[in-house]
Structure 1
Amino acid sequence: MLRSSITNKFSISPHCISSRIRSSSSPGSTFFSKESLSALFSSGLYNNSCQQRRTRLVVRADRDYYTVLGVSKTSSKSEIKSAYRKLARNYHPDVNKEPGAEEKFKEISNAYEVLSDDEKRSIYDRYGEAGLKGAGMGTGDFSNPFDLFESLFDGLGGMGGMGMGGRGSRNRATEGEDQIYNLVLNFKEAVFGVEKEIEIARLESCNTCDGEMSTPCNTCNGDGRVRKSKRISLKVPAGVDSGSRLRVRSEGNAGRRGGPPGDLFVIIEVLADPVLKRDDTNILYTCKVSYIDAILGTTLKVPTVDGMVDLKIPPGTQPNTTLVMAKKGVPLLNKRNMRGDQLVKVQVEIPKRLSTEERKLIEEIANLNKAKATNSSR
């Protein structure tokens, strides 16, 4: 879109500035106030001189960059970027052979270079294209639009087999993207390891064109790759935990133009066990014993990842004592012969109510303790 030209006449003296502005009524015209003129003078658009009395300044705001990209002045950077990507794909001269496509592509690139830069966009919004040049920042006219295009699309995995060739990195073989798969395991599977068969969806090389056709093929729409499902047998080592990441090499998306495939990363999530808790390589368990068993000692069967195991409660065990069951914990990752422990916390239950006979016996014990204390104090 071309903007109307604006002719400004200024009478300059060392003490005052008067302006007379003549402009067409086009809504796209740029109007400079006295306040904005001072900013323009300081940026180099106009060199004031005490000897210079009259100067004719012609400012031409050629293009409306927002209209070029089809966005509004309130559009976000992501919206501007999305609009540029769509238009750049359509008008890139390697794809669009119509007359004027390359000029349109350059115009789109110029607009994006300005509007994607916060500082340039701010100056452009206030003073137009002339303000950018006057501020010494330049516009897209002085950049290589193909470099801008490459810098954006290379970071997004290339142009997806659009049939573009002959310019820099578009002919390079590119590595495929990595894939992520979330795998849920139960508690014991994580402790001892397991072999799982998983199904993934990934991009594989297109058998029709392999991404080398000058025009996009109907099979892959020019990406050079098609999405397919594949079943993979995965060996999960013993000792993994939630957040563990397994790497399966070369099972990610296929590369382009003969590039190597990416990798598959499997992220582990472990379901909690209702009884056993995990603390790194140790397993935690809490058991309850009666006060009689705590005093006299006993043997209990407690659950472990290996099944039910006898645990000896020593006589005189105090409340909240922790007993260690050696090597009944989690194997160290990639060191299966080394295991943590199971730590058993003993809770002693004190009865709230006693039978008459129980109370009588405990009172007898209490009397014995009193007598013992009296004798020891003599």
Structure 2
Amino acid sequence: MAKRDYYEILGVDKSATAAEIKKAYRKMAIKYHPDKNPGDAEAEAKFKEAAEAYEVLSNPDKKAKYDQFGHQAFDGSGGFGGGSMNMDDIFSQFGDIFGGAFGGGGFSGFGGGFGGGQRRVKGSNLRIRVKLTLEEIANGVEKKVKVKRKVQAPGTTYKTCSTCHGTGQVTRITNTILGRMQTASACNACGGSGQIIDKKPDEADAHGLIVKEETVSIKIPAGVVDGMQLKVSGKGNEAPGNGVAGDLLVAITEEKHATLQREGDNLHYDLYVSLPDAVLGNSKEIDTVTGKVRIKIEPGVQSGKILRLRGKGIPSINGYGKGDLLVHVNVWTPKTLNKEQKAFFEAMRADEHFEPKPESSDKSFFEKVKDMFS
């Protein structure tokens, strides 16, 4: 099923400010929160849907990518992953949104670390850069990369934190002129996880983690652009205890092609033809992202003519078809001639066939540029 528009889900338009987006999400989250709708699967689904929309629209970089590419910018690696979200992920990332909306104590029963539930700490994210050729970008590719990430050391055991008694937070009561005020914050003893190290091997760090090299498979969709960032969930550093692993953030770098230049979804190719080929016509082999193809050069072709090969460009990241390959014809004029060649062209100076006679179909440079971008 196609995903709904994130702006539609939160009931805001694209010009909404960060504060308006946050306010709209808070309203949706309170309305569909599982504590208010126990056993209601539809409400839970809408709660997750709103959380996914806010996770993207509240992040300036993700919001910019979504505005440009839509859901395709995150498919297979971005957002929360739709139906795979769990309540722990949502509450751990958006706890500050809800504040005291549910009796001042937050939420209960979903491991969010509010109202007595145990908080699940998330491990840190890792970042890598992956270089792709134009051919890989055009066809999509699966890359296997080696990543050094922190994982729980074998033999490490944890026990309930005695400071927070496993809740992951400590409560403080302060007397003010307005009366007694209760505040809650993450437990310093366990870092908010609710657990502390019981036993660990010597090679593990203070959190019971070791560094391990792992091969990670990354599926990269066709049509990605230079600078785009993909996310592989759960392949960052693990968290101690019952925490959830961070994510692996993959930045895309596009390698320069020897003969093709990319412009959005279109590709450009400079084709140089000799003067005899331009006069008599010929066929030429050129590069594309799917291999070499042979194109026909019509007799009398003019320098600057653009041949459009439809569908030979880059697939749209939004799934709207493919771009084109624009072949720019450049007639190569010889710089040196022998006596016989020079005599031939001297004789042709006055020949009417060599007189420039542009027709209405022979467009100017500016008209060609206009056509190229239309």
Could you state the TM-score of these two structures normalised by the residue count of structure 1? Answer: 0.48
Q: Which structure's relative contact order is higher, taking Cα pairs within 8 Å and 6+ residues apart?
A: 2
Larger Rg: 1
Could you state the TM-score of these two structures normalised by the residue count of structure 2? Answer: 0.48
